Amino acid sequence: MRKLKLVMVGNGMAGVRTLEELLKTAPDMYDITVFGAEPHPNYNRILLSPVLAGEMTIQDIILNDLDWYKDNGIRLLTGRTVTQIDRKARTVTADDGTVAEYDRLLLATGSLPFILPVPGKDLQGVIAYRDIADTDTMIATAATHRHAVVIGAGLLGLEAANGLAIRGMDVTIVHIGDWIMERQLDKTAGQMLQKALEAKGMKFKLPAQTAELIGNESGRVAAVKFKDGETIPADLVVMAAGIRPNTALAEKAGLHCNRGIVVSDTLQTFDPRIYAVGECANHRGIAYGLVAPLFEQAKVCANHLAMFGIGRYQGSVTSTKLKVTGIDVFSAGDFSGGEGTEDIVLSDPGMGVYKRVVLKDDKIVGAVMYGDTVDGSWYFQMMKDGQDVHEIRDHLLFGKSHLGDVGHKGQNSAASLPDTAEVCGCNGVCKGTIVKAIKEKGIFTLEDVRKHTKASSSCGSCTGLVEQILASTIGGAYTPADSKNKAICACTDHSHGDVRAAIVNQHLTSIPAVMQALGWKTPNGCATCRPALNYYLISSWPHEAQDDPQSRFINERAHANIQKDGTYSVVPRMWGGLTTPNELRAIADAAEKYKVPTVKVTGGQRIDLLGVKKEDLPKMWADLNAAGMVSGHAYGKSLRTVKTCVGAEHCRFGTQLAMDMGVKLEKMLFGMWSPHKVKLAVSGCPRNCAEAGIKDVGIIGVDSGYELYVAGNGGIKTEVAEFFCKVKSDEEVMEYSGAFLQLYREEGYYLERTVHYVQRVGLDYVKAKVVEDAANRKALFERMLFALQDYKDPWLERSADKGEAELKKPFEDLTV
């Protein structure tokens, strides 16, 4: 089959990211030709500032070297500018006469710097700041000349000024506005930043308008003259007064342009064979200049080039972080406020700290920060998610750590952590490894950090710290993922919420049906999406959807946890932590019979048989089942334990029967599969010996009944459970607890703990559904009981006399 021909005009970050995404999903669909006007492979334009400052080299910022193009079969034509597109013949022609045919054309022509139309703009020493050539010119000039003038005090202009100042030049920044970075900062933050930059030796002239650039006898710029008549010396003038989408080629070809090449949500131009991404594109009236939105465009564009046709780009919310050494500035959204908004402000000029959060209808719509920006990504995430902040309004300006987020407290020093500091305890990843990967691999997203380093890919407790390292390393190029709309995996562009809704609304009852209905990119899915789909199906249609064992992790299929030496850990269930001599005897017999090397009491009040051989699992479970013991589901995404104290049954302080309540709950919830593991605890009095305050559901006995707490977590990152309600009877404990867990089962995303589910939707929302709405609570509870009514342990009725082959069926194909 003939490959289609794809031609890309432009070899920048947005275009090449599109090719990278395309090669992931359709590596053999196209013969690809790339035209690049510069004599370089793809490089990280964001890191030109560190190159100018002497912190990095050109080689350090190359994203895709020449071997990458060769290895992927891409024909790269550098140093050539495309001058003509023949849409009828479907060809492009370069300035050297090179002609390339296309079936699909991708325009990634970027932007052009705005050069002030003033006399002298063509003098030697007057440059823009957009590429490697400009950077090389500035470095060379700084070595032989003294005076530099930067026109424009936006993000790019300040970065240029900082780099030139570091190289020893006397720098004056000229700006037409009343304060610097007026598009990213309000006046207060802008003035604080200016003061800090002045302390670093930079000079400012604003508001000021340039009237003329004056040259010397050799034709080089020598001075800048302003409209007020003042003149200052200048051996180098850097124009950083803004950019304009590069649309000349598209306009010449007759494509619709309006402050950019106009594209649809599929990144197609009005000619459906021609796509555009990056700074040259105008999407819904906006041409984006930051990297994060351009990468979002790239992913959608690649999806359509691969002919999956299910992605849509709907615009981006952006944030900015200034990359000037020693100065932290952050802004996002509508930080200027306006009608219907209100400001919360913290200002401490003496300490160099300023924070302004803009609210509308109890939601963050904008934020600007100077000095202390550690919570920038937190504000930005809440803004993107539209989170109601009414409950935490009084604490907003004091940061996430003020709310008790233990894992966040170390993030203030993320940028200053030594490279040897361990960031991800699960995978043993240190900061230096992450920073090196970010720089060498051109990483801009949390997902890519996980892919290349494994950091934040396990328990997730280090995610905030990894995000801070990303932000401090690449600055404004980093945007936190949208937690509500993030795709499940690379097999689909659909989020967990989209998939759950489709399964319910379309009454889908099998994994193949879901994949067909939602246009899965891969025929059989992957290890990430298949377990999620399987859970969503059996939780949505408990008696219709068929549980697929091959879409479960090995631990759930084996009812045992694989250990590092390849043996397994078996944990029989002990209801509420209670056992009998008969059960203990059965455990002891199994341990002796199968030569189990280690027997341990677990933290969940059960007994763990460690070191069981794979071939012994079927017979061991048959023996334990024969004694009436079932799986403790100790490693499943399910009910784990209901921990109890001895309660009023024995304790002189007990006010309620904790053991009896615990057994009732555990038996009621047995067989409950859930988005993630679920642990409960029942304490017979407020002394809380069962540690109910750090469980997914915690019940504490009081004189008048019980207090219920939800969304606790006692793992690596401890989360204290939140007070939910007070009830009077055992029946109410079961109803309220069951309803809460059913709501979590129906709305939680796969691998999302209860604490993260409640943080995402809000405790008030959960209370409204369970505590305040009696009818809905009862309906949830009934759905829980309905789903679990026929559950039986798959091996409860199996015994050795049924034959070796039948006995081994549940354990077939057990692999890591």
* Pairing relationship of beta strands 274-276 and 104-107 according to DSSP bridges: parallel
DSSP letters spanning 352-406: TEEEEEEEETTEEEEEEEES--TTHHHHHHHHHHT-B-GGGGGGGGG-GGGGT-G
- Taking residues 748-767, report their average pLDDT: 91
DSSP 292: H
pLDDT at 143 over 50: yes
Helix, strand, or coil (residue 588): helix
Q: What are 258's two structure tokens? A: 């309006």
User: Among residues of the chain, what percentage have pLDDT more than 90?
Assistant: 63
- Reference 148, options 229, 218, 224; nearest CA is 224
Gap between the Cα atoms of 379 and 400, Å rounded: 9
The pLDDT of residue 459 is 55
Gap between the Cα atoms of 325 and 53, Å rounded: 10
Beta pairing partners, 286: 283
The pLDDT of residue 364 is 95
Q: Which residue has the higher pLDDT, 349 or 574?
A: 574
- Taking residues 762-781, report their average pLDDT: 95
The pLDDT of residue 84 is 98
Q: CATH topology for 639-788?
A: Sulfite Reductase Hemoprotein; domain 1 (3.30.413)
Gap between the Cα atoms of 388 and 762, Å rounded: 8
The pLDDT of residue 200 is 87
Select from 3.30.70.100, 3.20.20.60, 3.50.50.60, 3.40.47.10 the CATH code of 4-110+245-305. Answer: 3.50.50.60
- Reference 13, options 54, 63, 47; nearest CA is 63
| CATH 3.50.50.60 segments of the chain | 4-110+245-305, 126-241
* Pairing relationship of beta strands 236-239 and 126-128 according to DSSP bridges: parallel
CATH superfamily entry for domain 414-477:
BFD-like [2Fe-2S]-binding domain (1.10.10.1100)
Span 88-108, pLDDT tens digits? 999 999 999 999 999 999 999
Select from 3.40.50.10540, 3.40.50.620, 3.50.50.60, 3.40.50.2300 the CATH code of 126-241. Answer: 3.50.50.60
The pLDDT of residue 399 is 81
> Can you point out the beta strands (E) in 304-385?
319-321, 329-333, 342-348, 353-360, 363-370
DSSP 77: E
User: Among residues of the chain, what percentage have pLDDT more than 70?
Assistant: 92
Q: What are 154's two structure tokens? A: 């936006």
Mean pLDDT lowest among 59-68, 315-324, 635-644, 688-697: 315-324
Mean pLDDT lowest among 29-38, 271-280, 785-794, 803-812: 803-812
The pLDDT of residue 476 is 55
pLDDT at 318 over 80: no
Task: Return the amino acid letter for 170.
Answer: D
Gap between the Cα atoms of 207 and 201, Å rounded: 19
Span 382-412, pLDDT tens digits? 888 889 999 888 888 888 766 654 333 333 4
pLDDT at 540 over 90: yes
| CATH 3.30.413.10 segments of the chain | 639-788
DSSP 480: -
Q: CATH topology for 319-411?
A: Enolase-like; domain 1 (3.30.390)
- Mean model confidence pLDDT for the chain: 88
| CATH 1.10.10.1100 segments of the chain | 414-477
| CATH 3.30.390.30 segments of the chain | 319-411
DSSP 748: P
